[in-house]
Structure 1
Amino acid sequence: MPQDSAPRQRPDGFELNAPRRSLPIALLRARELVMERFRPMLNAHDVTEQQWRVLRVLRESGPLDATMLAERACVLAPSLTRMLRALETRGLIEIRRDGEDRRRARVGLSEAGTAFLRDVSPQSAEIYAKLEAEIGAERITRLLDELEAFVAALEHDERA
């Protein structure tokens, strides 16, 4: 085991993992290193990381109610409300009242939003291809599989 990975006893009696072996810190560090590659593209198109996630989720899933969209895009509901207004003002999404429950809104991509993603996706794919070339497609696939299993296990524990 690497020296900096062993738990350390603090003077107050708490044991802490070294920061390099802390799961939350490792996940954040990995996220930041990946996003550093995508931020210039997002900035060039005046889209925030959260807006990009919302647009991608809508492209993959089709129209969703706001609660499900917030969950799938990993966005807090208050932030999503502001974000949806901005995306609707830009014409990238459409918000419609649910036909069965007028209190609920369904959010979907507009034609302009679909065109936007079609225009920007090749740049995103190019960045992703560079990551795969640098790290290895199989390694990324294994990591994604492990993360999905990890999330599923945590969600299962939450429900139990």
Structure 2
Amino acid sequence: MLLLRAREKMMERFRPLLTAHGLTEQQWRVIRALHEYGPIEPRQISDICTISSPSMAGVLARMEAMQLVTKERFLDDQRRVRVSLTSASIELVDALSGELEAQYAELESQVGRDVVNLVYKAVDALLAGLEGDSA
């Protein structure tokens, strides 16, 4: 419950920015993943964004209809699809970056940079332990 409460408090800070740009949280996670990793397959996006495969199919279909992503079949295996950002998505990343940075700066001033850094380290350690990695 503690982690869920913390996530919700964080999203209260960022959700209005996404909504103002016509995005859902899931759509923004997909855009961030594709921006960071480049064109990848839906299964990989699901893993990175922690969105179930059935939900991801719907998210990507809506994003394709909104012209935020494009899908391209692999030449050697027509069953596989690679998803890429469109120029509209890249423009959204550019537009949102400054606003998001301002929210992170406000967060740091509110709770302190040391607290934010401790939380990042603790969550990284938690994930590493849960995923079986060495921290």
Q: Does 1:31 align with 2:7?
A: yes
Question: Alpha-carbon deviation of 1:98?
Answer: 2.1
User: What is the aligned partner in structure 1 of residue 88 from structure 2?
Assistant: 112
SS at match of 2:22: coil
- 1:131 pairs with one of 99, 102, 107: 107
> Which runs of no fewer than 5 residues in structure 1 stay unpaired?
1-24
Could you tell me how far apart the structure 1 residues matched to 2:56 and 2:78 are? Answer: 19
Q: Does 1:66 align with 2:42?
A: yes
Q: Deviations over 1:103-130 (max 9, x none)?
A: 1111111111111111122111111111
Question: Which structure is higher in RCO with an 8 Å CA cutoff and minimum separation 6?
Answer: 2
Rg larger for: 1
**Percent identical across equivalent pairs?**
38
User: What is the aligned partner in structure 2 of residue 55 from structure 1?
Assistant: 31
Cα pair 1:63 1:109 within 8 Å, conserved: yes
Cα pair 1:58 1:109 within 8 Å, conserved: yes
Question: Alpha-carbon deviation of 1:153?
Answer: 1.0
Could you tell me how far apart the structure 2 residues matched to 1:146 and 1:34 are? Answer: 16
> Which runs of no fewer than 5 residues in structure 2 stay unpaired?
none
Q: How many residue pairs were aligned? A: 133
Q: Does 1:96 align with 2:72?
A: yes
